[in-house]
A = this chain, B = another copy of it.
Amino acid sequence: MARDPAPSDSHTKAETVAEVSEFDLIGQLTKGRPRPAGTLLGPGDDAAILAAADGRVVATTDVLTEGVHFRLDWSTPEQVGRKAAAVNLADLAAMGARPTALLVGIGCPGSTKVDLLRELTTGIWQEALNVDAGLAGGDLVSAAQLVISVTALGDLQGREPVTRAGAQPGDVVAVSGRFGWAAAGLAVLGRGFRSPVAVVNAQRWPEPPYAAGPQAAEAGATAMIDVSDGLLADLGHIAKASSVAIDVQAGQVEVHQRLVDVGSALGVDPLHWVLTGGEDHGLAATFPEHGAVPEGWALIGSVGRGQGVTVDGGPYEGPGGWEHWR
């Protein structure tokens, strides 16, 4: 546990994780962070303790790897941290839960700058504090590439969870949040552009409609999903889990003017981004009737008997959702 001679302050910025002790490093990353009310025991012991007043805890985990889920030449470490937190927090929202806390495992090479990890964890903290959650615990290990594993814990506040399996024929389909923005941003970045900044930033980190999840649960949503793979692909998961068919009315699906503009510039139909683009982490849900759809949600389709997802009653032509290793 000996520490190398402390570098002068002027060199601190250039320190790599290999140059500081594990305990110092964890101290640097956790020092001075707030502790939200739900975190009964914060980082620093063998485990954290979180409030679970509901008698149940909602838990989800997602792993992000450099080069697959983010690129440090496209995003700042803080943006990557926000994204790592957001993709998990969105999963909680999709169950109708309110986030309580995050646990974060980070693997990185010894050559990683301490500053990078500090900015990364700052991004995670910022996103968590947006929803009154904290970073309650973590682990930091040596790895060949930067890997960020986040587990998010949440509270159902006495409500039943909204799973993927409750959609019924006759239900309506509605969405909240952004769709197609991250895909448009990826197309822009992939061609070497850095603007329009709104769609590029949407690729760097999502802005899930966290409050819309519990809101939909309160309103009686019968099924809900976090749209990470693409709207049609994720509606397909609801259709499969609920043993129903879902039809999307293309004319009801909002295509934001910014996406129209980017589509024109790149020669791509922006509706394709909206229907198949992943990584925006909007929410899609089914409700028993039009009248149940809360404010902030937009009606886009209907649930019927059968299976699969159609657009305007027919199969959608085009590539499907994102799959790893393909």
Chain A interface residues toward B at CB < 8 A: 1-2, 17-18, 21-22, 40-41, 44-65, 67-69, 91-92, 94-95, 97, 101, 103-107, 110, 136-145, 147, 149, 151-154, 156, 161, 163-165, 224-226, 233, 236, 241, 320-321, 323-326
Contact = CB atoms under 8 A, between A and B. Distances in A.
A95 B49 contact: yes
Contacts of A225: 46
Nearest to A51: B56
B56 A55 contact: no
5 contacts: A17-B325, A21-B323, A45-B241, A55-B55, A61-B105
B142 A324 contact: yes
Contact of A46 (B68, B106, B164): B164
Given A63-B141, A137-B60, A149-B63, A47 B110 contact: no
Number of copies of this chain in the oligomer?
2
Contact of A104 (B18, B61, B103, B138): B61
In this complex, which of A22, A44, A105 has the most chain B Cβ atoms within 10 angstroms of its Cβ? Answer: A105
A52 B226 CA distance: 24
Given A95-B49, A147-B147, A324 B141 contact: yes
Given A59-B137, A147-B107, A226-B46, A320 B95 contact: no
A48 B60 contact: yes
Given A57-B57, A153-B59, A161 B49 contact: yes
A163 B52 contact: no
B145 A59 contact: no
Nearest to A105: B63
